[in-house]
Structure formats: structure tokens, C-alpha cells
A and B are shown apart, each in its own frame.
Chain A
Amino acid sequence: MLLQILRRTGTLVASLVVSSMLVFVFMALLPGDPARVALGVNASEASVAQLRQEFGLDRPLVSQYLSWMGGFVRFDLGTSYVSQAEIAPQIIDRLQVTLWLVVCAMVLALVIAVPFGTVMALRHRKPSGLVLSALSQVGVAVPAFLAGILLITVFAVKLQWLPANGWTPPDEDPVQFVRQLILPVLALGLVQAAVLTRYVRSSVLDVQREDYIRTARAKGLGPARALRRHGFRNAAIPVVTVLALQLATLLIGAVVVERVFVIPGLGSLLLDQVANRDLIFVQDIVMLLVLAVLLVNFVVDLLYLVIDPRLKVATP
């Protein structure tokens, strides 16, 4: 068990180092001069050159990388090229917005996917199961931003039930906060729910074909009871894996959905800073996203050990 945890921690650290290098190299390859963008059309060559020096862009790439990583490890994310403000507080501010979006969408996806996926599996080859299956297929095909645009057109512009966009912090006006959150969460969550439903369905189907379910049925348990007592834990493993992978999709989906719904979250911040060529800022955000995804995968790996006791037996 301990060995397993150690091994997985090692993988985590190695992945982090490699991805930080990739992030840095890609940013360095991006065309466009951050100093020129920061100073704008009217700036002279001399002032651009001076700013490049202030940003440290004239130093060798290796030393730029090391000083960035050194700061990152100490959670000193540096100051923005463009606004000259501390980066960390700005990221934290925006993260609070994105977290609401992602967590609520995740919860929505789970709340929809688990019951519907199970029903679809139990009604496999029956008309009601087929209808649900077709619906989820459509959901898989629709990207979140398109869902967002459709939801806005119908519920905000035509019916005027909910605001089309915007963001209000919950402590300022809780009602407005909820009203503004509904559509983006639906846009993000419904699509995820469709994907997740299909995994729950196939996972439950697989489990139902297992011998132990047949045995349970033979003992006299009904199909639902047999599944509840013996099936769910086994069906959960692939679903948890997908859920972790979906967190990455959700974070990326949030970038687009935030733009469509004009939400000042991490996604809109990232897009703005790419346009501004605020390289340090972009590196920090991307690296934090990478960190989040890797950490989630790490936690999921550990969760397997809890869910499936067989994995606890180490195979040296």
C-alpha cells in the first residue's frame, strides 16, 4: 500500500516537471513581443527594449525558466507584465468564480448521469431505454459553447426568464447570483451529464453480466436490489476514472463557456492574458490547471485503493 502511494507520488512529480517545461517552451515559441504589446502602437523602440530588459526577456531561456519555476514552487507567481500587479491574488479571485461553475456543473452531471445511466442499463433494449440513449447521444455531440448559445437564445433573449450573461458575487446579491449561474451551469453540466450517462450505462451493463450478479439473482434478489447490493461498487471504478478525466474537460469547457456568458473567471483571464502576451501570467494559469488535473488523477488513483480492495494487495 505505502509503496503504491510512493510510486504514484513519484509519477506525479515527474509529470509536473515535464509539463512545466512543455508549458514554458510553448510560451517561448509563441510569436509576438510581450514588451511591444504592453506598450502599444505608439511606443518607441528604445522604450520597448528597456521594458524587455525589465521583464527579463533578454536573459537566456534556461535562466528565465529556472526563475519562474523557483518562484512557482514557493507559490510566488510573480507580477504581471501588462498590469504590473501581483498575479497570485488575481488568479485566486478568478478561481473562486470558476470553481462555482465547475463544481456545480459536476454535481449536475452526476445527479443526472447516475440515475439515468442506471435506468438506461436496466431498460436495455426497451423503448424507454432507447429514447434515453438517443438523447444522451445528442448531448455528447453538442459542444458546451453551442449549448450555451442555444440556452441564451431560448431562455434569456426569447423567454426573458433568466439573464443572458454576467456575474454577481453570491454575498452581494444571492438571488441574482443564482439566476446568472443557472444557464452557464446547464450549458457545461448537461453536456458532461450526457457523456457520463453513457459511461454509467455501459459500466452497469457490464456489471450485470457478471457471474456474481447472476448468483445474487438466483438467490432470489430482484434486479435492482442485486445491483444495489453487489453491482454499484464495481460499476463505480470506471465511472470515477471518467469523472476525473472530465474535470479536465470541464476546466477547458469553462474557458469557452465563461466567454459566452461573460463571466470573469479563470478561463476569460487566460484568454485575455494570451492576447496580451502576458507570458508569466499565462504560464502560471496553465501550470495551475495542469497541477489541478494531475492532482485529481492522483487522488483518483488513491481512491481506487479504497473502492477496490483487490488493488491494495501490492504486486511487487
Chain B
Amino acid sequence: MKPTRIGTAASAALLLVLTAACSAGSGTSGSGSTGGGGGGGADTSLTVGLVAEPVSLDFTTKDGAAIPQALLDNVYETLVTVDQQGELKPSLAKSWKVSDDGKTYTFDLVDNAKFTDGRPFTAKDAVYSINRVKTDWTVSLKAAMDVVQDAKALSDTQLQVTLSKPSNNWLYRMSTRVGAMMTETAVADLATKPVGTGPFVFEQWRRGDSISLKANPAYWGTKPYFQQVTLKYFKDPTALNNALLTKTIDVIGTVQAPESLAQFQGNDAYQIIEGTTNGEVLLSFNNGRAPFNDLKVRQAARYAIDHKALLDTCWAGHGTLVGSMVPPTDPWYEDLTGLYPHDLAKAKSLLSQTNAAATPVRLRIPSLPYAVSCGQVVKSQLEQAGFKVTLDQLEFPAVWLSTVFTDADYDMSIVAHVEPRDLPAVFGDPKYYTRYDNKQLQADLAAADAGTPEEQVTLMKKAAKELSEDAAGDVLFVLPNLMVAEKGITGLPKNAITESFELAPLARS
């Protein structure tokens, strides 16, 4: 009976390993959730597929768009918010008044909002939240609150904020994560257990997989249709598409590969939503050193780019051509594509007046889908005009950040600037990686911030045009907001122009 001994030993070992795996697996979801998960089940649950998963739930200390995308307007609310047209509208503040000198804001707050831990929301919480940005936040976005001199509660429902100088930008930033209203009792667990006044309550975060939210039964505003929402994260665009095709998810929140839309087009089971975003895909120039410190070289590069052809090739024709650093939903948008039409002859002649054609320029792009697919096209278009271009792809974020962003060791790059109203950040600070130092532009931007809302529009228009004429960079296109959803889902936003993915308006018909 000798041979069978090995067999017995082997099967015993196997059984042991399997049992170990079994008992190990059963510990996976210890967080006491009542299930839910997948797209199936009741009609009032929804699963949305997204791309970038947050690294933490605390946007006061961690940067990145994924945290506010999940939490802002869903779990946390702000005093004011931005609508689909890019206009400010009331949220936790019913209304607000600005003093004549533009420095004092008085907000009338709603009186029936409650945090999900049961405490009522009052002006004191607003004061606490505003002050906390200055004292405890570590991300650099907190600079938006620097202009606040004093915040005080006049009553439970009245808040007064005094600024050190008039700033249009401040009120706008109050609609972003910086303006999120928090409660003092919950800030200890910001990274794992966010508490806000919003239509949804944070339920569970399964790292590497999904975040689940459930409807807030005590919400002060219009209650959401969906009782259970799961945000599920996919690194791979194909996996994301497959998840919708096999009904694992109900909505693709961001289509990462526009050429893959074809498989949903003409299919009655799906709807495609196409709008715009704040993401300007910028062909950036290093304005601080040769050859791009020379206006003629920058102009030559702008004339060399055939934007229409580029958009068709690298983003399947989806997106908007704008001609400056302003997306179509900003109040000061105007179409500036006419300033630098595609003109190879002009590009060649401008370039020949300089000696830039002699040495190769370095186009150093991040390893991101849009940059990789546009990089080759930009290179070949520039080469047609006589540029010599070497293209390297740097791993994003780590290598690109340190090489291009921090050290500015590049001549050209391609990156989408997705923050709202980011023209001043990208071109107003000479230390930023674009290394663009234009005193006139800086003065105009400061005046736009301090002026009346009308003056702001006029001056921002002027700044955008100045920037475009001076060829400080070339905005290739504005990224489209592309979503695919099951036919019956309603309320999906056409434009993605805030930091949040607002879930409350969604419903199933």
C-alpha cells in the first residue's frame, strides 16, 4: 500500500490549503455591511463605474479629484453651488448679500439642515469649517481661504464673512471642496468616516473596489431617488465598458477611450451623454528658457497645429476647440480658435526667422491616455513645420511630476488642467511649471478678481485673449464629458464642470 500514502498526504495537504483559504476569505468584509453590492436587486440601487479611486476620504489633507468626486454635493454640501450653465446658485445658503466695497458677505442659511450624526447645521458650523481650512488643511487649495479676514455667526442662520480685499474668486471657490461644511464632532475620522449634511450618508469603502453610499432619510432638501449608490472603480477602460455590457454597473461615469463608444452607439439599451468639462488639454511650453522664450517659436508651434485633425485622430472627434485657457461653460468664454488658424507656411516662415529648428525640442508627456494618443500627432504636425521633436513618455504621476512639474526640465508637454477656472493658476504665477511671467496679465487677473462681476467678465476675456495672442501655450482641446448609461437612467449631468459627481438628481424611469 505504499504508493497510496503520497496520495493521502497530498490530498490532506490540499484540503488544508483549501480550508485555510476558505476561512481566510470569510473575513474579507468585516465592516458589517448588510450587503447590497452589484447592480442587481431593488430598483432603487445604482452602481456607477468610475476611473480613479481615492487614496483617502480626507480632502483636507489629500489632493486629487477622486475624493470630492465621490463626496462633494453627495455627503458634504457647500453654501453655494454651481449649476450646469456654470452659474452660482444657493445650497446651504438660501441667499447672500455683498457689501458695496465687495468685502463683506452676509449669508442667510437654511434652518432645517442636519448633519448625518443628528446635529443641526448652524452658522457656527460654517464659521468652524471656514476657519478650519486655514488652521488644519494641508493641501495647497486652502490658499483660496487666505483672503478671509473674519467669519462670524450673527445668529444660528446668519453668517457674515469679511474679506481682506474684494474677491470674486472666493465666492466661487466656496462651491468647491474648500467650502465643504463639516461638523466639529466628526473631524477626527475624516479619512474613514465622512459626515456631512448631504443627500447621502457614507456607508462603506471597500479599498481597491468600491465606495457605497445610502440615501440620507433625514435630508433637508429634495430626497434622492436612489436609496443605495455604489461607486465602483476600474483602472482599465475595457473592463469598465465590459462591466456595463454585462450589467455589473448601470452608468459609466467617465469614458476613458472615446473610440470605444461605437459599441454602444445605435444600441437601444444604452444612452450616450456628451457635454463639456473644465479639462483643458494644454500643449504647454516652457516659457522660461530657449527656444520657447521666443515669441516667434511659440507662434510657429501654434500655427503648426491642425486642431481639428488632431482632435479627430486622438480623441475620436469628441471635445471642444477653444483657442485659449477657458472652457465653454465659463462666463468669460469666447471662441478664440481664429487667432491661430492652421497655417504651415506661416509656421515655417516664423520658425526660419529663429534658430530653433537647429536643435531638437523635447516633448515630454505623461503616461495618460489623452497625452499618449495626442503626443504622436503633435510631434508629426510640428515636424511638418520644420521643428525637430524628441518625444518621451514619463510615468504619471511620479516621474512626470518630478521632471516636468517640479523641475521644469522640458520644452513642451501635454497635460489636462482639470481644476475649474484655472487660467490664473497656470499662467498667473511665474514659478508654475509653464514659467510664464507676464506683468500685464498678472495685473489684469488681480483686477478681475477685485472688480464687480461685470468687470470680472470683461477683464478675464481680455486676459484670455492676451494669453492666446502671446502664445503662452496651446490649448489643444477641452475634454468632453462622455457618459454611457442604461436607457432608463435620468438626471445625468450633461456637463461635468464641478468637482463632484452629483448623485441626488439621478433616477430610473
**Interface of A with B (CB < 8 Å)?**
30-34, 36-45, 47-48, 82-85, 90, 93-97, 99-100, 103, 107, 149, 152, 156-157, 160, 163-173, 176, 228-229, 232-233, 236, 259-262, 264-265, 268-269, 271-272, 275-277, 306-307
Q: How far is the CB of A221 from chain B (nearest CB, A)?
A: 13
A-B contact sample (14 more), CB < 8 A, given A43-B139, A83-B55, A172-B29: A31-B402, A33-B401, A34-B398, A40-B63, A41-B63, A93-B28, A96-B24, A96-B27, A165-B234, A176-B37, A259-B239, A262-B209, A264-B206, A264-B209
Pair B140/A44 contact, Cβ less than 8 Å: yes
Pair B35/A43 contact, Cβ less than 8 Å: no
Q: How far is the CB of A199 from chain B (nearest CB, A)?
A: 16
Q: Mark B1-37, 1 if CB is under 8 A from A, else 0.
A: 0110010010000100110111011111100010101
Which residue in chain A gives the minimum CB-CB distance to B36? A172
Pair A37/B401 contact, Cβ less than 8 Å: yes
Q: How far is the CB of A180 from chain B (nearest CB, A)?
A: 9
Q: Does B360 contact A (CB under 8 A)?
A: no
Query: In the docked arrangement, what's the CA distance between A275 and B399, Å?
Result: 10
Pair A152/B235 contact, Cβ less than 8 Å: no
> What are the residues of chain A within 8 A of B37 when measuring CB–CB?
168, 172-173, 176
- CB-CB under 8 A for A169 and B239, given A99-B21, A232-B3, A233-B6: no
Q: Which of A42, A152, A169, A269 contacts B63 (CB 8 A)?
A: A42
Pair A259/B21 contact, Cβ less than 8 Å: no
Query: In the docked arrangement, what's the CA distance between A171 and B403, Å?
Result: 47
13 contacts between A and B (CB under 8 A): A31-B399, A32-B401, A33-B401, A36-B398, A36-B405, A95-B24, A99-B25, A103-B18, A152-B242, A157-B246, A170-B28, A171-B29, A262-B234
Query: In the docked arrangement, what's the CA distance between A268 and B210, Å?
Result: 14
> What are the residues of chain B within 8 A of A276 when measuring CB–CB?
55, 398
Pair A107/B18 contact, Cβ less than 8 Å: yes
Q: Does B295 contact A (CB under 8 A)?
A: no
Q: How far is the CB of B61 from chain A (nearest CB, A)?
A: 8
Q: Does B372 contact A (CB under 8 A)?
A: no
Pair B243/A42 contact, Cβ less than 8 Å: no
Going nearest first, the 7 A-B pairs with the smallest beta carbon separation are A32-B398, A40-B63, A264-B208, A164-B242, A169-B28, A42-B140, A164-B246
Pair B55/A82 contact, Cβ less than 8 Å: yes
Query: In the docked arrangement, what's the CA distance between A178 and B507, Å?
Result: 31
Pair A83/B56 contact, Cβ less than 8 Å: yes
Query: In the docked arrangement, what's the CA distance between A103 and B21, Å?
Result: 8
Q: How far is the CB of A76 from chain B (nearest CB, A)?
A: 20
Pair B397/A37 contact, Cβ less than 8 Å: yes
Q: How far is the CB of B10 from chain A (nearest CB, A)?
A: 9
Query: In the docked arrangement, what's the CA distance between A275 and B56, Å?
Result: 15
> What are the residues of chain B within 8 A of A228 when measuring CB–CB?
3
Q: Does B164 contact A (CB under 8 A)?
A: no
Q: Which of B18, B62, B242, B403 contacts A165 (CB 8 A)?
A: B242
Query: In the docked arrangement, what's the CA distance between A176 and B6, Å?
Result: 35
> What are the residues of chain A within 8 A of B139 when measuring CB–CB?
39-40, 42-43
> What are the residues of chain B within 8 A of A43 when measuring CB–CB?
63, 139-140
Query: In the docked arrangement, what's the CA distance between A232 and B4, Å?
Result: 10
Query: In the docked arrangement, what's the CA distance between A86 and B206, Å?
Result: 15
Pair A41/B138 contact, Cβ less than 8 Å: no
